Structure 1
Amino acid sequence: MKIAVLGGTGLIGSQVVQILNTNGHEAVPHSPSTGLDLITGAGLAEALTGADVVVNLTNSPTFDDASIDWFRTSMTTMLAAAATAGVGHAVVLSITGAEQVPALDYYRAKVLQEDLLKGGPVPYSVVRVTQFFEFMKAVLSWTSDETTVRLPATLVQPMASAEVAQAVADACMGAPLNGTRSYAGPEVFALDELGRIALAAAGDHRTVVTDDTAGMFAAAKDDALIAKDDTVIVKTTYREWLATQ
């Protein structure tokens, strides 16, 4: 199959392209560096010409309320072009539990993206995943200074980006789900606890202070971001992943 990978040069997209090509498919990465602009539609018709599948791994440049309009415009543009090109399967990557955190603009934007896909003209698959191990460094930086990192005790169940990419690639290689498949890591952590593990592994001696108002994940309550009964649990633990870094 020919698979157009929008956002195909990023952390997940580059791995998805590699997996698909290794499995004998023709996966072509598209991004702003190749001339793709999902807001204006520039480069989109060319990217989708002859494609059997389109997977959208592009992301809003911000996490604030502007992300809502960004996903509305980009998905509407993509779906119209995919229908015109006769693409038979559209895949998007989303977030486990996104609809349970309406206080976060970005999560509401991802739910909107899913809804546009589900109501669109192309058979589809939604792949939902939990937070990536690779993002922990950024999370630590959001509410930190030279001596202290403030993190909420929000429950998270993170996973490795390699397993995210495999889940997306599997969806691309399969028939449209016309539904959602969710994935999560094998361990549940309080985010402040995970921060202490990450800092210790990096030899960083800053103190983690539990602050349930700190950072964007403070908006996620109880088990909002944790796997539900129908979730696929992947294998790699956080400490196993740390040992490879």
Structure 2
Amino acid sequence: MAPAEIRPVSCAEVATSLAHTAVFTPLFGVREIAGPEQFRLDTFVRAVLPEDPEGRRVFTDWRSPLLGAGLRGRDLLPGADAHIARARFTDWPGSRPAPAAAP
């Protein structure tokens, strides 16, 4: 898993944002949404995956593609005008302790 930085958003807030976008006039056709916390993708995946009884692990590898594309450190972060969701990862239903935040 690439250690690119991400700002995950809860499913509930994605649904609310989508509903809001559907009933109002879109702004330039694009609306980015981001969570209030920033994590590394590899660290976040380790935190949210259930314990694997088979002992499989998540490895950090910059060469690891995401959906076939190579990633750089900030490629998955939103633009400056993104809507920032309110719910922190630890507020999500069924969440685990939050991973260490990205620097």
TM-score normalised by length of structure 2: 0.71
5+ residue gaps, structure 1: 1-150
Instruction: Identify the residue that residue 177 of structure 1 maps to in structure 2.
Output: 27
Say whether residues 1:224 and 2:72 are aligned partners: no
In the alignment, which of 48, 51, 55 is matched to residue 203 of structure 1?
Answer: 51
Instruction: Identify the residue that residue 157 of structure 1 maps to in structure 2.
Output: 7
- 1:78-107 Cα deviation digits (max 9, x unpaired): xxxxxxxxxxxxxxxxxxxxxxxxxxxxxx
* 1:14-29 mapped onto 2 (5 Å cutoff): none
Identity %: 31
Instruction: Identify the residue that residue 194 of structure 1 maps to in structure 2.
Output: 44
- Superposed CA RMSD in Å reads 2.4
* 1:1-245 mapped onto 2 (5 Å cutoff): 151-199=1-49, 202-204=50-52, 206-216=56-66, 219-241=70-92, 243=94
Deviation, 1:242, is 5.2
**Aligned-partner Cα distance in 2 for 1:166–1:206:** 35
**Aligned-partner Cα distance in 1 for 2:43–2:81:** 26
Change (3 A) 1:220 1:227: same
**2:41 maps to amino acid:** L
Deviation, 1:244, is 5.8
Instruction: Identify the residue that residue 20 of structure 1 maps to in structure 2.
Output: none
**Aligned-partner Cα distance in 2 for 1:170–1:197:** 30
**Aligned-partner Cα distance in 2 for 1:244–1:193:** 14
Query: Contact 2:33/2:83 (CA < 8 Å) preserved in 1?
Result: yes
**Aligned-partner Cα distance in 1 for 2:26–2:41:** 34
Deviation, 1:211, is 1.4
Give the number of the structure whose residues are more often strand, by fraction: 1
Higher relative contact order (CA 8 A, sep 6+): 2
Tell me which structure has the larger Cα radius of gyration. 1
- SS of 2:58's partner is strand
**Aligned-partner Cα distance in 2 for 1:209–1:176:** 39
- SS of 2:17's partner is helix
5+ residue gaps, structure 2: 97-103
**1:237 maps to amino acid:** R
Residues paired across the two proteins, number: 93
**Aligned-partner Cα distance in 2 for 1:228–1:178:** 14
